[in-house]
Amino acid sequence: MRVTPQRLLIEEALRRIGRHATAEEVRRAVADRLPHATAPTVYATLELLAELGRVRKVRAGRGPLLFDPRVDRHAHFVCSSCGAVFDLPAQAPAEIVDPAPALAAARAAGHHPEAAEVVVEGRCARCVQAPR
């Protein structure tokens, strides 16, 4: 798999952002160095990086697809009030974030599962403290 400078710049940008980001946020972060990169190009590059295991895709709540610079297995918390996405502590017991049983159940039902992840929804600590 050829590593293009554009791909490297996009991966770097997500790491610089350092948290879950939309393709549009990444596009804005590379706009000065890749002025001609369109949103679909950046999106496709991030999808490819996810396939290569360099970044992770996170479908959280009703918001747009997010890209995560952290590729180790971890669960997410999505705030239903402000939409913020948090990593749950890395030291969460493995069985909490292990999607294997869910994947096995899907397979047993005759489906062809590709991915599963733990997303906890609710109001984040910030919103609980300062309700809007």
DSSP class of residue 88? P
- Rank residues 42 and 69 by Cβ distance to Zn ion and give the closer one: 69
DSSP β-ladder status, 85-87 and 76-79: antiparallel
Residue 11 binds Zn ion, judged by CB under 5 A = no
Cβ atoms < 10 Å from Cβ of 20: 24
User: Do 111 and 69 contact (CB within 8 A), yes or no?
Assistant: no
- Residue count at the site for Zn ion (CB under 5 A)? 9
- Rank residues 21 and 30 by Cβ distance to Zn ion and give the closer one: 21
The length of the chain, given as a count of residues: 132
DSSP class of residue 80? T
CB of 2 to Zn ion, least distance (A): 28
Site for Zn ion in 77-96 (CB under 5 A): 79, 81-82, 84, 87
Is residue 77 helix, strand or coil?
Answer: strand
Residue 117 binds Zn ion, judged by CB under 5 A = no
Annotated binding site for Fe cation: 95
CB of 125 to Zn ion, least distance (A): 8
Residue 68 binds Zn ion, judged by CB under 5 A = yes
Please name the amino acid found at residue 79. Answer: C
* Positions that interact with Zn ion (CB under 5 A): 68, 70, 79, 81-82, 84, 87, 124, 127
